[in-house]
Structure 1
Amino acid sequence: MRNIVLSHLLLPLFASLAFSATAAPATPAVDNAVPVVATAIPAKTLNLNTADAASLQKALNGIGKAKADAIVMYRDEHGPFTSVDELLEIQGIGKALLDRNRDKLTVD
C-alpha cells in the first residue's frame, strides 16, 4: 500500500519536473531598452544670398516682415553678403539678434 501511495505522489512530481524542463528552454533575461544617445541634429541653414523675405521671416527668431524686407533690400543695394556678420549693418539688427540666429544662417 505504501508503494502505491508513494507512486501516486511521486509520479506527478517527476512528471511535472520533466515537462517543465523540456517545455521551454531557459533564456537569459534580455534588456530590450534601447540606449538613448544624444546627437545634435544639424539645423537647416538658410543662405542669406538666396533667401527671400518670407523664408527669412519664417526661419529666423525676432525677424518680422520689416526686418526681412530690409535684409533683402540691403542685399539688392550692396550685392551678395560676404559674411553673416554683415547683417549688423542693417538698422534694427543688433548683436543679440544676430547671435540668436547665427547657427541658422550661411553665406554661399
Structure 2
Amino acid sequence: MNKAFLAAAAFAVFASVSFGAHAATQTQPAPAPVAVVSQASVNLNTADAATLTRELKGIGATKAKAIVDYREEHGPFSSVDELLEVKGIGSATLEKIRGQLSLQ
C-alpha cells in the first residue's frame, strides 16, 4: 500500500509540474498596439500642381505641372494607369503613389 501511495503522490507532483510548465509556455503577451496611418487620397482630376507636389512622394514641381498640363490637354484621367502617358512618370513612380491616388 505504501508503494502505491508513493507512486500516486509522485505522479500527482510530476503531472502538476508538467501541466504548469505547459500552461506557462502557452501564454503569449498581448500584442503591441499598431498605429494606423491613413493617407488622404489625391484626386488626380482636380488637384493642382502644388497639391500634387506636396502630397505625392516622388512628384516634384516639374512632374506635377506635367500632370496638370496633360489633364488640361486631354481631359480628365479615366484611369490611374493613364499617368504613364505623362512625360516623366514611369511605372516605378506610379507604383509608389498608386495607393494615394483617386479619380473622384
Which residue matches 1:41?
A: 37
Equivalent-residue separation in structure 2 for 1:65 and 1:39 (angstroms): 31
- Within the candidate set 80, 84, 87, 2:83 is matched to 87
Which residue matches 1:101?
A: 97
Correspondence list, 1:1-108, <5 A: 36-38=32-34, 40-108=36-104
Residues 56-93 of structure 1: per-residue CA shift (max 9 Å, x gap): 00111111111000000000000000111110001110
Equivalent-residue separation in structure 1 for 2:35 and 2:89 (angstroms): 31
Letter in 2 for 1:46: V
Please report how far the alpha carbon of residue 38 of structure 1 lies from its aligned counterpart in structure 2 after TM superposition: 2.4
- Count of residues paired in the alignment: 75
Which residue matches 1:29?
A: none
TM superposition score normalised by structure 1: 0.64
Please report how far the alpha carbon of residue 50 of structure 1 lies from its aligned counterpart in structure 2 after TM superposition: 0.5
Aligned structure 1 segments of 4 or more residues deviating by more than 2 angstroms: 34-42
Which structure's residues are more often helix, by fraction? 2
Equivalent-residue separation in structure 2 for 1:40 and 1:72 (angstroms): 31
TM superposition score normalised by structure 2: 0.66
Equivalent-residue separation in structure 1 for 2:43 and 2:89 (angstroms): 17
Letter in 1 for 2:92: A
CA RMSD of aligned residues (A): 1.6
> Could you tell me the percent identity over the aligned residues?
53
- Segments of structure 1 that go 5 or more residues without pairing to the other structure are 1-33
